[in-house]
Amino acid sequence: MGKLFGTNGIRGVVNQDMNTDLALGIGKAWGTFLKKSIKRPKVAIGTDARLSNHMLKNAISAGLMATGCDVVDVGLVPTPTLQYTVRSKGFDSGVIITASHNPPQFNGIKGVASDGTEFSKEIENKIEKIYFEKNYKLVDWENVGNFSQWDGAIDLYINGILNTVDVNLIKSKNFHVVLDCGNGAGGLVAPILLEKLGCKPTLLFCKPDGRFPGHNSEPIPENLTEIISKVPVLKADLGVVQDGDADRAIFIDENGIFIGGEKTLALVAKYATKQNGGIAVTPVTSSSCFDEVVQKNNGKVIHTAVGSPIVARVMIENNAVIGGEANGGLIFPEFQYCRDSAMSIAKILEIMAKENKSLGQLINEIPKYELYTTKMSCPNDKKELVMKTLAEKTKKDSSVLEVDETDGVKLYLDGGWVLMRPSGTEPIFRVYAESKDKNKAEEMASTYKSITEEIIKNS
């Protein structure tokens, strides 16, 4: 059986591997899956700003209706807006048409469960199986689904955020925020949210445009030269950038310093655990600055496998107070169990207001670690055996304090950790090494890269 869903739903180039036949088939498979447990499923569908959105939305909606699902189109919305709508309006499922930060020729399909979380691997596998076996259950003419539109999702979502943070406190600070929506879906939410939070917004690329005329949609420093230079010149309090579907946010401090997502994650974790500790969840790849701030507040860290649906699921199971990924995907359980950039903006402003400190000062208080990454080739069919051998060998290694096999093989050593993790898509192993000392990080990476290469050679 083939594979459709990757780490972030189904992605592909429009009218090549991401086409109407695929979307129609997925719609029929999705509907067939939902109908197994629900008599008349109600599905919300939304899109980001890409030019192929209507094409794919109509195809997938047709498949859902053919299998007896009612489809409600909520229009162009950020992914977390769709997720919030699904949960709070009692939908049985949600579909978001987006390729997140990928270049404009891409598009994708991502599934949302009734609780607003991203589809788990189990659900994706079930839909995939129906799709490949073409085991669609089309309904009689009189049971075909309805199609309607609802334009209340954005108001519902913004009000939800405003009810979760201390609006009056944020308003009292009159923050000047430079906002870069990268011409993505966030442009329909974040400018309004900032206004309602009493901020003075300076807007860059906030008009949704699926050609991404402003800059490439991935929020990495080389794409963000304009906002990085503007924040200090305008004497703004901070800058914030959203990715194409506005589930991730990256921040720039008042001096125009790009803040790595791992530091923002640690900052929100520090404040979420400040009063009563609590459980904080992040993948094994995340920086130890997260662990350090949480443990200092008598909180407990759970490391998961990589993937935001996994982080969200573990957060629900453990009643966590905070979670997220180091790529700017922060999850606030008091609002919803998914990555949410607009909520991240509101929360960062709230922390700045409460602590009465600039963003640069708050980030300076986060412990500093040095991450070193490298990679090596490894044939896909050897990966499992290599990991097993690596774990066995390193468990006997006296310099290894602890071996974590949650995702790849992570070794805790004196002064840092090193993680060897196979790529899910490419024939490579990635090596991550982190320490407070840069040389130590490099040394650990090179030592364990050699050990892993030797194992690959002999496997």
Q: Which residues are identified as catalytic?
A: 100
Pick 216 or 358: Cβ nearer Mg ion? 216
Strands 93-97 and 416-422, how do they pair?
unpaired
**Closest distance of CB 5 from Mg ion, Å:** 16
| Part in contact with Mg ion (CB under 5 A); list of ranges 58-66, 95-103, 385-393, 439-447 | 95-103
Residue of 48, 73, 128, 243 that binds Mg ion (CB under 5 A)? 243
Is the Cβ–Cβ distance between 102 and 131 less than 8 Å? no
Q: How far is the CB of 21 from Mg ion (least distance, A)?
A: 25
In the bound state with Mg ion, the residue whose beta carbon lies nearer, of 106 and 131, is 106
Strand stretches in 159-228, DSSP E: 176-180, 200-204
Cα-trace Rg, the chain: 22
User: Between residues 12 and 299, which has the closer beta carbon with respect to Mg ion?
Assistant: 12
Q: Which is nearer to Mg ion, 190 or 431 (CB)?
A: 190
**Could you tell me which stretch among 10-18, 50-58, 169-177, 238-246 binds Mg ion (CB under 5 A)?**
238-246
Position 245 contacts Mg ion (CB under 5 A): yes
- What is the C-alpha to C-alpha distance for residues 106 and 269, in angstroms, rounded to an integer? 33
Smallest gap from residue 101 Cβ to Mg ion (A): 6
- Contact track, Mg ion, 55-94, x by CB under 5 A: ----------------------------------------
Closer CB to Mg ion, 32 or 79, in the complex: 79
Asked if 153 contacts 85 with a C-beta cutoff of 8 angstroms, the reply is yes
Nearest residue (CB) to Mg ion, 184 versus 191? 184
Q: C-beta of 248: minimal distance to Mg ion in Å?
A: 5
**Footprint (CB under 5 A) of Mg ion, residues 408-447:** none
Chain-centroid distance, C-alpha 230: 26
Reference 341, options 354, 355, 324; nearest CA is 324
- As a whole number of angstroms, the distance between CA 275 and CA 270 comes to 10
Give Dmax (Cα) for the chain: 70
CB of 11 to Mg ion, least distance (A): 11
Give the Cβ contact number of residue 211 at 10 Å.
11
Tell which one of 47, 58, 85, 100 touches Mg ion (CB under 5 A): 100
Which residue minimizes CB distance to Mg ion? 100
Shortest spacing between CB 227 and Mg ion, in angstroms: 18
Which pair of tokens denotes residue 57? 């939305």
How many CB atoms within 10 Å of residue 174?
11
State the angle between helix axes of 438-458 and 383-395 in degrees (0 to 180), rounded to the nearest 10: 120
Amino acid code (one letter) for 36: K
Stretch that binds Mg ion, among 85-93, 134-142, 223-231, 235-243 (CB under 5 A): 235-243
Residues 298-357 that bind Mg ion (CB under 5 A): none
Binding segment for Mg ion (CB under 5 A), chosen from 194-202, 236-244, 293-301, 435-443, is 236-244
The CA distance from 1 to 133, in Å, is: 9
Q: Which is nearer to Mg ion, 68 or 108 (CB)?
A: 108
E strands, 330-444, where?
330-331, 370-377, 400-404, 409-413, 416-422, 428-435
Residue 113 pairs in a beta bridge with 93
Chain residues in the site for Mg ion (CB under 5 A): 100, 243, 245, 247
